[in-house]
């Protein structure tokens, strides 16, 4: 037995997240972002911390206050640090000296500023700014005490809202430059499209950005790469509107652009690849066309805040680069070369969610999470394999609580496909005691459960539940065929994969009580929860979260509805029969499982009318159902929503399962 206590939902307030490590050019100075929750204000607070890699001393806090300070970026000469802070009310860019002193505010833009990118000479910073048509970059934030006049929203585009931002105003992300010494600003772009800034050329003459400049954006889903000459403002398009390209880095010698992206061969189920643009030859080539592993971090979780995946990090000689890839339930650090060689450098059962490298000395700072370790920074030398921990932000918490360690499982799903998942047994489970099991289904569906900390799983395991979580077809991490296999087959072989997982653990682990099974999931996982209880009565309780219940209405109400439905269900609004066939609402008469419906009021990804339809249909049929609506919350409630509501959500899930799965 252990004297450690069991984790609770409220422990969310005790946990700290570390992310976005950044190394200075000297390979010694490192900064990162630490995020925690202010319990008295029920708000998130982020600050920047510094540590010296060589001295291995305790990290030193560099920014203070109860605001969000993030996106730290070293100047190339290592003398200054730029970062973004909302301390003035909106996100603005600040600069602090390595020698200490107050941070200097560089921008006071009306709509905020973000994404600082240093010039090679450390004298200027390019940044992103939202502007209305013909608006000046120097328009300052002004206090206005007058009551805002209500005006109607006129809509003439299909893409008029997003889950994160709500209804879109006619503002566009532009690129500007600010002089660090004088504060003088210059606007570089003015087109009525969103420009995403990526990198500054080593010679200082050009910036690289991505944008979709097609006139008919409602039916265009590409992201092209452009070069912008800083002095002349001349643009050069490098890609041919054939795909979706992003996360661009410039090689130190200035000859290559490292690009992550794909040509949408399988729409949004296409795995990202590595592309190199040779600036001298003006040629774009794919280095990983035969490398069946998704580039980037596709892990789904509910804890880490401010994760930044850095793209390709070049070596000093510009012949190779390091990157993060998603593979078999983990993320790994790989090395790649211009010759097309790709091999793992750090390959463990863990979630690498942050990466910074020293170009000269072959070491990295990694942000790593594991199922029983929420996340910390680690030093890793690529050649000697030396590794040691740099931070211990949750040490006190981890010394107090007992966490459940999952066991990896392998089983056979539909069509005899080999599948992968985990079983997390209840905390302090007695040897002969039978326990209830909850099947968890991730969203996406193109995401991946992984060897990472998941607060929801730990809370439920602490309350006596076994947790089964798997990666059915449609998940990332198992190759292109696997991730694409769900499209057009929602509720088909993906459902069979999940039921195969349940069958496997029931046959393999006799301590699981077959009569006490629950199921839950969010987004696609919510769709699948709805689908499962409409197809089988084996589950005694279910919780559906931010779900889809009716593909017919989803087509018109979701911010991504019309194109996501066509990509994933492979049917449009003229094919109502197919949309209805894949809709859980069509099977409401079959549902006998008590269902708790959780949904956010401002969820524009899976709008709350999806929950309302299902709830009313169930209640009309006198089924057991309850709905909880979360105010002022969007699709991201469980991951980055209001802390109190996140805790309320976890408690509601626990209490619902307690009502139906615990022995009375």
d(CA 659, CA 664): 9
CA-closest candidate to residue 227, choices 247, 242, 200, 209: 209
Q: 131 — phi, psi (to 5°)?
A: -135, 145
- Across 213-230, b (16+ Cβ under 10 Å) vs e yields beeeeeeeebbbbbbbeb
Q: Which two tokens stand for residue 147?
A: 């009551």
Q: Strand, coil or helix: what is 394? A: coil
Which one from 442, 582, 635, 638 is the annotated catalytic residue? 635
Residue 523 appears among annotated catalytic residues: yes
Q: Strand, coil or helix: what is 47? A: strand
CA-closest candidate to residue 218, choices 260, 133, 155: 155
Pairing of strands 17-23, 5-6: unpaired
Beta carbons within 8 Å of 232's beta carbon, 6+ residues apart: none
CA-closest candidate to residue 296, choices 258, 352, 336: 352
Place of tokens 């087109």: 191
Place of tokens 């002969």: 432
d(CA 366, CA 23): 11
d(CA 48, CA 452): 23
Measured CA to CA in angstroms, residue 26 lies from 23, 110, 249, 357, 599 at distances of 8, 36, 20, 11, 48
d(CA 427, CA 439): 17
- For helices 524-535 and 493-508, give the axis angle rounded to 10 degrees: 70
Can you spell out the DSSP letters for 582-639?
T-GGGGGGG--S-EEEEEETT-SSS-THHHHHHHHHHHHTT--EEEEEETT--TTHHH
d(CA 60, CA 570): 53
Residue 574 appears among annotated catalytic residues: no
Pairing of strands 330-337, 313-314: unpaired
d(CA 350, CA 361): 24
d(CA 415, CA 432): 35
Place of tokens 């802070």: 85
Q: 296 — phi, psi (to 5°)?
A: 105, -175
Radius of gyration, alpha carbons of the chain: 25
Tell me the CA end-to-end span of the chain in Å, nearest whole number.
Answer: 26
How many other β-carbons are positioned within 10 Å of the β-carbon of residue 565? Answer: 24
Which one from 523, 547, 549, 553 is the annotated catalytic residue? 523
Q: List active site positions.
A: 523, 635
């Amino acid at each position: 037995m252990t004297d450690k206590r069991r984790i609770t939902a409220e422990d969310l307030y005790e946990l700290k997240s570390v992310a976005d490590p950044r190394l200075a050019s000297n390979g010694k100075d490192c900064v990162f972002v630490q995020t925690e929750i202010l319990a008295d204000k029920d708000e998130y607070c982020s600050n920047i911390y510094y540590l010296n890699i060589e001295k291995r001393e305790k990290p030193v806090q560099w920014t203070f206050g109860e605001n969000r300070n993030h996106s730290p970026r070293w100047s190339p000469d290592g003398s200054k640090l730029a970062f973004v802070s909302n301390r003035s009310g909106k996100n603005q860019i600040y600069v602090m000296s390595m020698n200490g002193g107050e941070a200097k505010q560089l921008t006071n833009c009306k709509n905020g500023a973000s994404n600082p990118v240093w010039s090679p000479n450390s004298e200027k910073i390019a940044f992103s700014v939202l502007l209305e048509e013909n608006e000046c970059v120097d328009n300052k934030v002004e206090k206005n005490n007058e009551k805002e006049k209500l005006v109607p929203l006129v809509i003439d585009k299909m893409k008029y809202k997003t889950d994160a931002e709500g209804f879109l105003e006619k503002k566009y992300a532009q690129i500007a430059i600010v002089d660090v010494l004088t504060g003088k600003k210059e606007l570089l772009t003015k087109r009525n499209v969103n420009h995403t800034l990526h990198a500054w050329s080593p010679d200082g003459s050009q910036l690289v950005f991505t944008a979709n400049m097609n006139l008919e954006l409602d039916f265009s889903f590409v992201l092209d790469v452009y070069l912008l000459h800083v002095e002349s403002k001349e643009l050069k398009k490098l890609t041919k509107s054939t795909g979706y390209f992003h996360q661009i880095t410039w090689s130190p010698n200035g000859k290559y652009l490292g690009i992550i992206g794909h040509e949408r061969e399988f729409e949004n189920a296409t795995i990202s690849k590595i592309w190199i643009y040779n600036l001298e030859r003006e040629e774009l080539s794919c280095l990983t066309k035969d490398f069946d592993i998704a580039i980037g971090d596709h892990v789904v979780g509910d804890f880490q805040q401010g994760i930044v995946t850095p793209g390709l990090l070049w070596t000093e000689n510009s012949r190779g680069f390091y990157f993060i890839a998603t593979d078999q339930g983990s993320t790994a650090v790989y090395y790649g070369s211009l010759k097309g060689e790709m091999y793992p450098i750090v390959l463990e059962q863990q979630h690498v969610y942050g990466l910074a490298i020293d170009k000269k000395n072959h070491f990295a700072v990694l942000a790593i999470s594991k199922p029983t370790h929420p996340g910390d920074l680690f030093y890793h030398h690529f050649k000697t394999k030396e590794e040691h921990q740099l931070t211990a932000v949750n040490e006190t918490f981890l010394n107090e609580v007992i966490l459940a360690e999952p066991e990896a499982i392998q089983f056979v799903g539909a069509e005899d496909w080999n599948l992968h998942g985990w079983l997390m047994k209840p905390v302090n489970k007695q040897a002969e005691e039978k326990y209830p099991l909850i099947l968890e289904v991730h969203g996406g569906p193109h995401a991946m459960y992984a060897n990472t900390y998941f607060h929801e799983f730990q809370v439920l395991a602490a309350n006596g539940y076994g947790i089964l979580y798997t990666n059915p077809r449609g998940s990332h991490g198992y190759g292109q065929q696997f991730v694409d296999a769900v499209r057009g087959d929602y509720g088909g072989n993906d459902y069979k994969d999940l039921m195969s997982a349940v069958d496997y653990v029931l046959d393999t682990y006799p301590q699981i009580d077959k009569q006490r099974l629950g199921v839950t999931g969010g987004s696609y996982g919510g769709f699948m929860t709805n689908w499962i209880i409409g197809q089988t009565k084996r589950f005694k309780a279910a919780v559906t979260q931010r779900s889809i219940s009716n593909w017919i209405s989803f087509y018109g109400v979701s911010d991504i509805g019309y194109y996501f439905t066509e990509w994933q269900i492979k049917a449009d609004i003229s094919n109502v029969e197919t949309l209805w066939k894949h809709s859980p609402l069509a099977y409401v008469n079959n549902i006998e499982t008590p269902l708790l419906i959780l949904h956010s009021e401002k969820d524009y990804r899976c709008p709350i009318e999806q929950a309302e339809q299902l709830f009313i249909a169930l209640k009309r049929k006198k089924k057991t159902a309850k709905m909880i609506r979360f105010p002022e919350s969007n699709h991201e409630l469980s991951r980055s929503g209001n802390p109190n509501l996140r805790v309320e959500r976890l408690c509601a899930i626990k209490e619902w399962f307690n009502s139906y799965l615990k022995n009375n």
